[in-house]
Amino acid sequence: MLNIYRNTNEWPSFVPFALFDLPAPGRSFSNLRQDLDRVFGTYEQSLNGPYAQTAQLRDSGSDLVVTIDLPGVSKKDVELTISGDNIFIRATRTLSPPEGYTAHRRERSSFKFEQAFQLPVAVESETAIANLQDGVLTVTLPKSPNAQPKQITVKAG
Amino acid sequence: MTQNIVETPKTSGPELAQRAQEIMPPVDIYENDHELLVLADLPRVTTENLTVEVNHPELKIQGRVPSANHQSDIVYTRIFRLDSSMDVAKIEAKISEGVLEVHLPKSEPYRVRKIEVTGA
């Protein structure tokens, strides 16, 4: 991800509040690089999303934990299907400007997220827990008894 | 178009010295007759790790997502410069479902008022 840095004293006293903050007339050419970084940085973010909008899988020993960042998504807009060792997550976010307001900047976007993947071990789907908090979906999938970690004592020969 | 809130650069602070992933969270800015409304996506950020700071003329939004070893923390930062039309004392912020809402009320002289025109 591109980081955008700018020097405060490079700002003209008034900057038109334009899309991408393109350079105001009279700004020095040395700002061009920063401006380009800024435009394409924003563009890059719009393609990839600035946060972890891909599911992350973690093995906590007895459980598999799937997390995904879904800011502004409410519970009713999340669909979760587990069948055998397959998991399917669908989430939608539909944004509209708040009533009575005009928009000056809209970087946050509506999205439809869909991801299906195969889990590395069998899980107990009946006891799976899904929790949506602080804009993060966390799915805790207990491993099936056969997949639980076991410690094997090594005997001396 | 408005000039009452413009983005300013992020200056290197002590937090850059630590190993953290710097992220510019996406932001929406809306305006009505009474206020500016700033919305920012800050997933995983809780109130304890969130600062919304007005050090006139700067409005700084910063949220941290701590990691177990502090080696891969995520730091979300956006800084805007406000003009003097905002009533700084009345700025309010709340976060829910990972979305931060900052309400910046306009000070009295800058509010839009409709004046009734009376006939003679």
Contact list in B for residue A71 (CB cut-off 8 A) is 41-43, 97-99
Q: What pLDDT sits at residue A152? A: 87
Cβ of A70 within 8 Å of Cβ of B8? The answer is no
Is the separation of the CB atoms in B39 and A108 below 8 Å? Answer: yes
DSSP string, A77-127: GEEEEEETTEEEEEEEE---PPTT-EEEEE----EEEEEEEE-SS-B-GGG
Distance to chain A for B120, nearest Cα, Å: 33
pLDDT at A34 (0 to 100): 63
Count the Cβ atoms, other than its own, within 10 Å of residue B29.
24
Structural contact between residues A64 and A87, judged by C-beta atoms closer than 8 angstroms: no
pLDDT given for residue A151 in this prediction? 85
What's phi and psi for A134, nearest 5 deg?
55, 35
In chain A, whose CA is at the least distance from the CA of B49?
Answer: A134
Of A8, A14, A69, the CB nearest to B43: A69
Specify the DSSP class assigned to residue B16.
Answer: G
Task: Name which of A101, A110, A131, A132 to mutate to probe chain B: the one with the most chain B Cβ atoms within 10 A of its Cβ.
Answer: A101
Would you write out chain B's pLDDT as a tens digit for each of its 120 residues? Answer: 467 888 887 665 555 545 778 889 999 999 999 999 999 999 999 999 999 999 888 999 999 999 877 778 889 999 999 888 889 889 999 999 999 999 999 988 877 778 889 887
Instruction: Check residue B13 and report its DSSP letter.
Output: -
What pLDDT is attached to residue A69?
Answer: 92
Contact B2 A98 (CB under 8 A): no
* Chain A nearest CA to B46, separation (Å): 7
Closest to A123 in 3D by CA, of A57, A54, A56, A55: A57
* DSSP one-letter string for A13-72: SS----GGGPPPTT--GGGHHHHHHHHHHHHHHHHH-SS--S-EEEE-SSEEEEEEE-TT
Question: How does pLDDT run along chain A (157 residues), one tens digit per residue?
Answer: 233 333 333 333 333 333 344 444 545 555 666 666 666 555 544 444 545 567 889 899 999 999 999 999 999 999 999 888 889 999 999 998 899 999 999 999 998 888 898 998 889 988 999 999 999 999 999 999 888 888 888 998 7
CB B45 within 8 A of CB B38: no
